Amino acid sequence: MYLKKYYQLMHKGFSKYSQYRFNALARFLSAFIFLAVLYYLWKAIAASGSLERSFMEIFTYLVMARIVASTVSISVENRIGTLVRRGNVVNELKRPVSLRTQMFFGELGVSVFKTLTRSIPVFLVMLFFIEIPLPGSLRFLGFLFSLGLAYCLVFLFSYSMAMFVFWTKVGWSLAFIRDFLTRFFGGGLFPLYILPPFLQNAFSFLPFKSMIYTPASIFVGEVALSNIPNILFKQLVWLGILFLASSLIWRRAKEKLTVQGG
């Protein structure tokens, strides 16, 4: 009974997003354009001799980081922003499932759609062109577990940011800020291991590293197999912190709960 309820929420998100097929195709093509830009950009940087790692090693990581970022791409801010502007958020709060749970499984359906239509096809094409080394079974299981935790982390961060919609009434700007922070500090635009040691340490104190860099680095072998449990534990710690933070922000947001026009 409960599983069916959650499945329906996930299926609703999947079905809603699958209606925009041209948009999905455009995003699929934009992923290759983005990777082409990264390819020539980092190839030029590598040609200058300023990189300690090989070009293909860095580009392989960037491909996986792009795939991870696409898989965990979430926008709770826009979803709640629409509900607030239309005055429908009160109806959602009357449901027997919490708002956070509704958003989680709804966005999970969207994430599954993006994985099937963007992440996996991009990976298969890149596998053909650059021969991405495939991980062993234990490393692959660690990657999948880390990817699942990364989704939960991105969701909780997006959900926490979405709570500010009750003050701003606008969600897209919050989503833009959150997405930039996640990609920049999380290793979505460059490998964090190329940074100076003091910046690597600074970035390690932020949760963003666990959202993109951790699963991508596990897959490409940047992380030793014996160290995978440690970084998975760090993801779990951040998961607990963001869960508590989202609950506290939601309590304050309920005090500001107003519907435009009434």
Mean pLDDT of 149-158: 95
Residue 167 in this model has a pLDDT that exceeds 80:
yes
107 domain-assigned: yes
202 domain-assigned: yes
Please answer whether residues 153 and 239 qualify as being in contact, where contact means their C-beta atoms are separated by less than 8 angstroms: yes
Residue 260 — pLDDT band, cuts 50, 70, 90? Answer: very low
225 domain-assigned: yes
Range of the structural domain that residue 202 is part of: 2-255
13 domain-assigned: yes
Residue 63 in this model has a pLDDT that exceeds 80:
yes
pLDDT > 70 fraction of the chain, expressed in percent and rounded: 88
Q: How many residues are listed for the chain in this entry?
A: 262
- What pLDDT sits at residue 146? 96
Mean pLDDT of 65-71: 90
Mean pLDDT of 193-197: 86
Residue 12 — pLDDT band, cuts 50, 70, 90? Answer: low
Provide the 3-class DSSP secondary structure of residue 133: coil
Question: Which pair of structure tokens corresponds to residue 66?
Answer: 């792009």
Please give the full DSSP string across 191-224, using - where no structure is assigned. -GGGS-HHHHHHHHTSGGGGTTHHHHHHHHT-S-
Question: Which among 11, 226, 220 is positioned nearest to 111, based on CA atoms?
Answer: 11
Average per-residue pLDDT for the chain: 84
262 domain-assigned: no
261 domain-assigned: no
d(CA 242, CA 154): 9
- What pLDDT sits at residue 7? 61
> Domains in the chain: how many in total?
1
Mean pLDDT of 164-184: 88
- What pLDDT sits at residue 262? 46
260 domain-assigned: no
Residue 144 in this model has a pLDDT that exceeds 90:
yes
Residue 236 in this model has a pLDDT that exceeds 50:
yes
The more confidently predicted of residues 130 and 234 is: 234
139 domain-assigned: yes
- What pLDDT sits at residue 150? 96
Mean pLDDT of 57-66: 89
Residue 259 in this model has a pLDDT that exceeds 60:
no
Please answer whether residues 92 and 102 qualify as being in contact, where contact means their C-beta atoms are separated by less than 8 angstroms: yes
Residue owning tokens 């700007």: 173
